[in-house]
């Protein structure tokens, strides 16, 4: 049972009876978790164990306000929201106060008067940690009233108070974040005058509203996010604010493809409550992730914008949905994702590529096709190395064509490839056994064919399926002689 009055709170030994800032609170709780050997301080954040997370922990232990600098889709907002796990489970606040004032150390004059008048009978309420996180997306139209607040002259006139009194303020987001974490996403998008108001609060604890100086010693842990391109002296950030932020922590995309696969598995909606089981082969996961990795190195894609981690997540979800649709249409017992389903998920890829001029000339869809092809090639070479597939290629050289698409059922697919010698023998390296179901077998067979296509040993298009481009026929000798004779006559 939690205390309900200040007197009961003073008698309860579970809670400190003195003022403790939020930065001290976070530091003490973090030290406690480090002492117990807890390693997963930011659950679900993958790939930052040796880079961003140690820097964040150092900033928190130093009681610094900090900023996360990184491109889109690097889990910056998620990290900030998880900081609430380092807060106390509940804190006591004066009942009826808009800014969660501390009963032991109130900052607004009305709460101080109430404390003086009511003493130990002062009612308190308990604020849970999840209510102590205030987040704002910075946009150019944000005003000082939104962040700090605005003076209410009617309220001042009725109470007969001076306009500069704190009681006359209609509080904005920052005062309401008193004793909380205040996060601003995309900080450079704030207007310069709003940034000035922020660094006044950070350093001096005061601010001017409509020309009236207001003393507000707020207790706030301020955290920010920004794109590195904007967060420069020549960009949209004012230097005094930049100077007052204690630490700049760089985030990044996954350095290893396995880390990217783990993130995509964690975030993608693939655990679907359906009577139709969904299977995603490991080589398909690797191809999907490699698309993003290749895109981040492609010179035709804007590196200042980046290729978000949301690309492989959305791509895998769309590919899974295409596999489900095919399985339902053909009455299959399970839905197994194929490489063709990745091509069917192009809308989830093209919308996330910001192209440079050369890329715009080529087109987002063409570039996406190339990225998929290179991704398939890497996954194929990883599994088969320098293994030869001459029998398969010879079948296509002799005029064989395989007319299949992403909506071809597994039974039909496997029946059509039976005549291709050497194809099924290659499936052992993909873990396919005679007892494996047809959907898994069809997915593996298609991966081998896609691998050969990625090596440019066979061709494929949506109309014909898989085939082999025949060499250009030699010109008829008579036609050649006729052309030569015509040239001689002329």
Q: Is residue 58 part of a domain?
A: yes
Instruction: Please answer whether residues 21 and 219 qualify as being in contact, where contact means their C-beta atoms are separated by less than 8 angstroms.
Output: yes
Q: Is residue 481 part of a domain?
A: no
Beta bridge partners of 67: 224, 248
> For the whole model, what pTM was predicted?
0.86
Looking at per-residue confidence, does 110 or 321 come out higher? 321
Q: Is residue 148 part of a domain?
A: yes
Range of the domain at 223: 6-250
Residues 280 and 243 both lie in one domain: no
Residues 153 and 289 both lie in one domain: no
CA distance 315 to 274: 20
Kindly report the length of the chain. Answer: 490
CA distance 54 to 50: 6
Residues 238 and 262 both lie in one domain: no
| Cβ neighbours of 27 (radius 10 Å) | 17
Q: What is the pLDDT of residue 160?
A: 67
Instruction: Please answer whether residues 31 and 86 qualify as being in contact, where contact means their C-beta atoms are separated by less than 8 angstroms.
Output: no
Alpha helices (H) in 298-437, listed in sequence order: 310-329, 339-344, 347-350, 357-362, 364-384, 390-397, 410-416
Q: Is residue 318 part of a domain?
A: yes
Residues 240 and 385 both lie in one domain: no
Neighbour-count burial for 289-305, b at 16+ CB within 10 Å, e otherwise: bbbbbbbbebebbeeeb
Residue finishing a domain among 224, 250, 276: 250
**What is the domain count for the chain?**
2
CA distance to 112, 268, 344, per residue, from 320 (Å): 60, 10, 10
Instruction: Note the Cα 255 to chain centre separation in Å.
Output: 15
- pLDDT tens digit string along 134-186? 999 998 888 888 888 887 777 767 766 666 666 677 788 988 899 999 999 99
Beta bridge partners of 467: 459
Residues 266 and 188 both lie in one domain: no
Residues 376 and 245 both lie in one domain: no
Q: Is residue 28 part of a domain?
A: yes
Phi and psi (nearest 5°) for 197? Answer: -60, -35
Residues 162 and 290 both lie in one domain: no
Report residue 434's pLDDT band, with 50, 70 and 90 as the boundaries: confident
Residues 291 and 363 both lie in one domain: yes
Q: Is residue 484 part of a domain?
A: no
Residues 221 and 362 both lie in one domain: no
Q: For 343-353, what is the mean pLDDT?
A: 94
| Cβ neighbours of 25 (radius 10 Å) | 19
> In the chain, what percentage of residues exceed pLDDT 90?
62
- pLDDT tens digit string along 368-420? 999 999 999 999 999 998 888 999 999 999 899 999 999 999 999 999 999 99
* Domain CATH number, residue 129: 3.40.50.300
Beta bridge partners of 336: 279
Q: Is residue 477 part of a domain?
A: no
CB-based burial of residue 130 (10 Å sphere; 0-12 exposed, 13-18 middle, 19+ buried)? exposed
Above 50 in pLDDT, residue 475? Answer: no
Residues 135 and 241 both lie in one domain: yes
> In the chain, what percentage of residues exceed pLDDT 70?
90
Residues 122 and 231 both lie in one domain: yes
CA distance 70 to 72: 7
CA distance 409 to 320: 15
| Cβ neighbours of 185 (radius 10 Å) | 18
Q: Is residue 489 part of a domain?
A: no
CA distance 432 to 445: 10
CA distance 347 to 317: 12
CA distance 100 to 81: 19
- pLDDT tens digit string along 50-87? 999 999 999 999 999 999 999 999 999 999 999 999 99
Residues 86 and 16 both lie in one domain: yes
Above 50 in pLDDT, residue 489? Answer: no
């Amino acid at each position: 049972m939690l205390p309900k009055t200040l007197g009961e709170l003073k008698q309860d030994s579970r809670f400190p009876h003195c003022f403790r800032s939020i930065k001290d609170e976070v530091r003490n709780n973090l030290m406690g978790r480090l002492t117990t050997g807890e390693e997963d301080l930011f659950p679900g954040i993958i790939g930052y164990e040796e880079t961003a997370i140690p820097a964040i922990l150092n900033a928190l232990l130093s009681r610094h306000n900090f900023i996360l600098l990184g491109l889109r889709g690097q889990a910056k907002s998620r990290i900030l929201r998880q900081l609430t796990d380092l807060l106390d489970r509940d804190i006591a606040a004066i009942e009826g106060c808009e800014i969660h004032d501390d009963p032991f150390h109130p900052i607004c004059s009305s709460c101080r008067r109430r404390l003086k008048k009511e003493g130990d009978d002062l009612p308190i309420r308990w604020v849970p940690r999840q209510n102590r996180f205030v987040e704002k997306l910075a946009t150019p139209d944000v005003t000082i009233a939104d962040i700090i607040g605005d003076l209410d002259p009617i309220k001042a006139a009725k109470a007969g108070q001076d306009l500069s009194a704190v009681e006359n303020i209609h509080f904005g987001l920052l005062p309401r974040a008193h004793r909380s974490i205040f996060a601003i996403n995309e900080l450079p998008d704030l207007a310069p005058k709003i940034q000035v108001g922020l660094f006044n609060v950070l350093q001096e604890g005061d601010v001017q509203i409509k020309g009236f100086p207001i003393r507000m010693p707020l207790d706030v842990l301020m955290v920010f996010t920004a794109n590195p391109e904007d967060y420069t002296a020549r960009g949209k950030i004012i230097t005094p604010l930049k100077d007052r932020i204690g630490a700049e922590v760089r985030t990044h995309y996954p350095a290893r493809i396995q880390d990217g696969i783990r993130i995509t598995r964690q975030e993608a909606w693939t655990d679907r409550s359906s009577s139709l089981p969904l299977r995603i082969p490991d080589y398909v996961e690797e191809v999907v992730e490699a698309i993003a990795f290749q895109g981040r190195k492609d010179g035709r894609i804007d590196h200042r914008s980046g290729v978000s981690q949301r690309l492989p997540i959305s791509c895998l979800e769309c590919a899974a949905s295409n596999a489900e649709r095919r399985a339902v249409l053909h009455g299959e017992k399970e839905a197994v994702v194929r490489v063709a389903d990745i091509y069917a998920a192009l809308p989830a890829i093209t919308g996330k590529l910001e192209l440079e001029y050369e890329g715009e000339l080529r087109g987002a869809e063409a570039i996406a096709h190339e990225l998929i092809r290179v991704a398939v090639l890497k996954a194929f070479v990883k599994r088969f190395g320098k293994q030869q597939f001459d029998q398969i290629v010879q079948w296509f050289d002799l005029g064989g064509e395989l007319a299949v698409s992403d909506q071809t059922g597994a039974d039909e697919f496997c029946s059509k490839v039976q005549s291709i010698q050497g194809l099924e023998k290659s499936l052992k390296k993909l873990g396919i056994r005679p007892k494996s179901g047809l959907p898994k077998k069809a997915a593996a067979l298609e991966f081998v064919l896609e691998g050969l296509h990625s090596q440019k040993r066979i061709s494929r298009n949506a109309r014909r399926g898989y085939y082999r481009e025949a060499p250009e026929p030699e010109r008829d000798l008579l036609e050649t002689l006729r052309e030569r004779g015509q040239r001689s006559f002329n």
